[in-house]
Amino acid sequence: MAKVEFERDGKIGIIRLNRPEVMNCFDPETLSQFKAHLDTARAEKRVRIVLICGNGRAFSAGMDLKYAKDKDAETIRGVNYQGLVETFSYLQDFPKPTIAVVDGYALGGGFELALSCDFRFASKEQAIFGFPEINLGILPTWGGLFLPSDLIGISRTMELVLTGERIDAETAHSMGLVNKVIPHDQLFNQALQYAKNLARKGLFLLQLAKYILTKSKHAAHQDRLELTTLAAELITMGTGREARLKSILNKTYLK
């Protein structure tokens, strides 16, 4: 049985973590399967939006600590590189919009997975977020030390990381970590409909807008002007603009 599943619903690619017996935790094989499905969704032109969700009661509880228990430092270093650089960083730079559908626990690496997506929709009744690592004698290593601060600032991020506190969906939404809080029994359908509405937009404009927005986030003012000029030039190119954008995205996103 696959540890990560992939299906399509029209123009929507759906990636499901499928290890409910261990709260959808990641081991190297799970990371590899997840990355492979991202590659598939990236390559297929008909897929315009990607939903990421988990089977069972958890979105994901992060790294599989049972797998990590007896591993040496070099092995753990390799898994952390695979998680942070090869998988989650790749997701953060993914050229198509991504939506995390958080219907249960999103802890540690699971929280980092959700933060690596462009949108986060959470179950009102069941979503729980947190970085419990400090209580286990470790720290978040797949983006948790920097991803939240883009959304909520250093002080609130430090509070989450240093206390290990768990927060519910409403709290996460009030802090700016979650886009929408939805009743549990409506969560997936509403997320899917939102994705379908987005997918009605042209793939070229979806990818271009995401590229300009993400690259402008921490850019100097002059670079932002140049990025906006690039967007205007590509929009007015007509023939060949898709190929030009693809070339830009390949240089930017391929690791």
Rounded to whole angstroms, how far apart are CA atoms 101 and 117? 10
Residues 214 and 108 in one domain: no
Estimate the share of the chain in helix, then strand, then coil, as percent rounded to the nearest 5: 55, 20, 30
High-pLDDT (> 90) share of the chain, %: 89
pLDDT for residue 154 is more than 80:
yes
Residues 71 and 89 in one domain: yes
Residues 179 and 227 in one domain: no
Q: What are the C-alpha distances in Å from 51 to residues 38, 60, 191, 198? A: 11, 14, 8, 12
DSSP structural state of residue 168: E
Residues 25 and 138 in one domain: yes
Q: Determine how β-strand 98-102 pairs with β-strand 58-60.
A: unpaired
Residues 145 and 192 in one domain: yes
Domain ranges, residue 35: 4-199
Residue 105 maps to which CATH number? 3.90.226.10
Closest CA to 177 of 134, 219, 116: 116
Residues 61 and 148 in one domain: yes
Please state the domain count of the chain. 2
Instruction: Give the model confidence (pLDDT) of 43-88 as tens digits.
Output: 999 999 999 999 999 999 999 988 888 888 899 899 989 999 999 9
pLDDT at position 253 is 60
Instruction: Give the model confidence (pLDDT) of 100-140 as tens digits.
Output: 999 999 999 999 999 999 999 999 999 999 999 999 999 99
156: exposed, middle or buried (Cβ count in 10 Å: 0-12, 13-18, 19+): middle
Residues 44 and 158 in one domain: yes
Largest CA distance in the chain: 57
DSSP assignment of 198-227 equals: HHTS-HHHHHHHHHHHHHHTT--HHHHHHH
Token pair in block for residue 161 = 């990381």
**Residue pointed to by tokens 């979105």:** 59
Residues 66 and 13 in one domain: yes
Residues 89 and 130 in one domain: yes
Residues 93 and 152 in one domain: yes
Residues 127 and 215 in one domain: no
Residues 181 and 208 in one domain: no
Instruction: Give the model confidence (pLDDT) of 30-44 as tens digits.
Output: 999 999 999 999 999
List CB contacts of 203: < 8 A, sequence separation 6 or more. Answer: 45, 48, 96
pLDDT for residue 254 is more than 60:
no
Average pLDDT over residues 231-240: 89
Name the pLDDT band for 255 (thresholds 50, 70, 90).
very low
Name the pLDDT band for 251 (thresholds 50, 70, 90).
confident
Instruction: Give the model confidence (pLDDT) of 184-199 as tens digits.
Output: 999 999 999 999 999 9
High-pLDDT (> 70) share of the chain, %: 98
